Amino acid sequence: MTEVAIDATVAKQNLLDLDREGMERFFAETLGEKRFRAHQIMKWIHHRYVTDFNDMTDLGKVLRAKLEAHAEVRVPQVQFEKPSTDGTHKWLLAMDGKNAIETVYIPDKNRGTLCVSSQVGCALNCQFCSTATQGFNRNLSTAEIIGQVWVAARHLGNVPHKQRRLTNVVMMGMGEPLMNFDNVVRAMSIMRDDLGYGLANKRVTLSTAGMVPMIDKLAEVSDVSLAVSLHAANDALRTELVPLNKKYPIAELMEACVRYAQRKRGESITFEYTLMRDVNDQPQHARELARLMREFDNRLQMKDAAKVNLIPFNPFPGTRYERPDDATIRRFQKLLNESGRIAPVRRTRGDDIDAACGQLKGQVADRTRRQAEHLKRLESQGGPGVDAAA
Q: For binding to ligand SAH (CB under 6 A), which residues are involved?
A: 128-130, 172, 176, 207-209, 229, 272, 274, 311, 313-314, 357-358
**Active site residue ranges:** 102, 357
The answer to whether the beta carbons of residues 270 and 307 sit under 8 Å apart is yes
How near is the Cβ of 98 to ligand SAH at its closest, in Å?
22
Smaller CB distance to ligand SAH: residue 58 or 322?
322
- Least Cα distance to 297 among 306, 287, 284, 285 occurs for 306
Backbone angles phi, psi at 274, to 5 degrees: -80, 120
Q: Is 192 or 231 the residue whose CB approaches ligand SAH more closely? A: 231
Query: CB of 227: closest distance to ligand SAH in angstroms?
Result: 7
Residue 372 CB neighbours (<10 A):
12
Shortest CB 372 distance to ligand SAH, Å: 21
- Please report how close the Cβ of residue 333 comes to ligand SAH at its closest, in angstroms: 16
Find, among 123, 132, 71, 134, the residue nearest to 100 by Cα: 134
3-state secondary structure 72-137: ECCCCEEEEEEECCCCCEEEEEECCCCEEEEEEEEEECCEEEEECCCEEECCCCCCCCCHHHHCEE
Closest-approach residue to ligand SAH (CB): 358
CA distance 159 to 48: 8
Closest CA to 224 of 259, 166, 264: 264
- The residue among 192 and 238 lying less far from ligand SAH, judged by its C-beta, is 238
Q: How far is the CB of 176 from ligand SAH (least distance, A)?
A: 4
* Nearer to ligand SAH among residue 71 and residue 171 (C-beta): 171
Closer Cβ to ligand SAH, 241 or 305, answer by number: 241
Q: How far apart are CA 192 and CA 196, in angstroms?
A: 7
Cα gap 331→336, rounded to integer Å = 9
